[in-house]
Structures are given as structure tokens and as C-alpha cells.
């Protein structure tokens, strides 16, 4: 299938009529009035949509190919207050990018800050929009080679009110948590599913280093 058949439109096929910031805080809320080209020809009517705008982010699943262990973290998330059990979620390490920062550098830095893990090698998993129906957040996801023999403990930056529990577990145990629905954030779900599919050749690649 050609690229033209996969992707119908470009950045030239929409028009922003008006843009207004309606809230500025930890995130920004921006109200757009816009229109865009339709699949059957012509243009849509002008519509109004609010978009939560925030910095792009990067995340990493720390993995020890020798021990076959992954490192996950647990922390409180206000966006999950409505969870039926607990707003503390099992996640992978992640952080936001400042202007001109490289996502891979951010992922490696956050691994030290949030999990005490030095990243020895990186492999890119994917990049994606987290929730494009209402947010512009763009996420870069990696798997990182580590030595998990001493990983664990409580981490995070006090000035950012971070209180992060780090723990290790066998990769198969993490896959079981995923299957049981106990992991409910997209970076953790995607990275663990990726590792489940790619673990054998990744271990061969990294065990030679």
C-alpha cells in the first residue's frame, strides 16, 4: 500500500480560525476554532475544541537481560482518583522534555532520578500521541539495558513532590500483571507488550555487550 493511500491529508489541509488560551497552570487549556478538509471533498464547518497542551514526554522500561528482570515504579496520580481500587499506579519511568532536549537523554536521566538505574544501552520502542482527541501530548518510549541486581528503594525529587517506589520483578511476572489488568498506563502496557514480543532477540543483542 502506498503512503498516499495510508495518509490522506497534510498540514496544509486544516485552518486555525482562532486560538485562545483559557487556562494556564500545570498544563495549559487552549480553545481552538478551526476547520479541516473532508474525505469526500470540501471543508468542514468551523468547530470549537478545547485542547490540553503540555510538553512532550519520554519514558523507558529498564530491563536487565542477564537476570531477565524489569524495573517498574509505583506513584500517586491525581488523574486516577476515580480508580476503583487505588490512585497509586504501576508505571515505567517517564519525564517531560524541556525545549531542545533529546527524548533519549531525558529517558536516561529520569531512570536515574526515579529509579536509581544507570542506563547502559537504549533501544527505541515507538513514538505516539497519548490522547489526541483532547491533548497534544507526544510520547517517546524506550527500553533500557540496566544491571538490576541492586535496583529498588524510594526515589524522586522532593522539589517536584515526587514519592516513587521502585521495584524489580521477573519479566514473566510483569507480563502476568499486564494480563491480569493490574497495569493501566499506556507507556507501561506498550513497553511490556513490546518486550514480550522482542525479548529473545533483545537478550541476545544485549548479552553480547
Q: Which residues are annotated as a binding site for Mg(2+)?
A: 94, 110, 114, 162
Set 4, 159, 160, 180: catalytic member: 160
Angle separating helix axes 171-179 and 186-207, nearest 10 degrees: 160
Q: What are phi and psi of 147, to 5 degrees?
A: -105, 110
Among 71, 64, 61, 68, smallest CA distance to 167 is for 71
DSSP 85-127: S-SEEEE-EEEEPPTT--HHHHHHHHHHHHH-----EEEEEEE
173 catalytic residue (yes or no) = no
Q: 136 with 53: CB under 8 angstroms? A: yes
Residues that constitute the known binding site: 94, 110, 114, 162
Contacts of 136 (CB under 8 A, 6+ apart): 51, 52, 53, 54, 129
The catalytic site residues sit at 160
Amino acid at each position: 500500500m502506498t503512503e498516499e493511500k495510508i495518509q490522506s491529508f497534510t498540514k496544509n489541509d486544516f485552518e486555525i480560525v482562532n486560538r485562545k488560551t483559557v487556562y494556564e497552570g500545570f498544563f495549559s487549556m487552549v480553545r481552538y476554532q478551526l476547520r479541516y478538509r473532508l474525505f469526500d471533498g470540501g471543508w468542514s464547518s468551523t468547530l470549537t475544541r478545547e485542547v490540553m497542551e503540555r510538553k512532550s514526554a519520554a519514558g523507558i522500561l529498564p530491563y536487565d537481560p542477564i537476570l531477565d528482570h524489569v524495573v517498574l515504579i509505583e506513584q500517586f496520580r491525581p488523574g486516577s482518583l476515580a480508580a476503583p481500587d487505588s490512585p497509586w499506579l504501576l508505571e515505567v519511568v517517564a519525564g517531560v522534555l524541556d525545549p531542545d532536549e533529546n527524548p533519549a537523554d531525558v529517558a536516561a536521566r529520569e531512570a536515574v532520578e526515579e529509579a536509581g538505574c544507570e542506563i547502559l544501552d537504549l533501544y527505541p520502542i515507538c513514538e505516539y500521541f497519548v490522547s489526541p482527541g483532547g491533548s497534544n501530548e507526544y510520547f517517546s518510549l524506550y527500553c533500557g539495558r540496566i544491571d538490576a541486581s541492586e535496583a529498588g528503594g524510594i526515589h524522586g525529587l522532593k522539589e517536584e513532590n515526587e514519592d516513587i517506589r521502585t521495584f524489580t520483578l521477573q519479566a514473566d511476572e510483569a507480563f502476568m500483571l499486564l494480563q491480569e489488568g493490574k497495569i493501566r498506563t499506556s507507556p507501561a502496557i506498550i513497553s511490556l507488550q513490546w518486550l514480550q514480543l522482542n525479548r529473545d532477540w533483545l537478550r541476545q543483542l544485549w548479552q553480547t555487550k
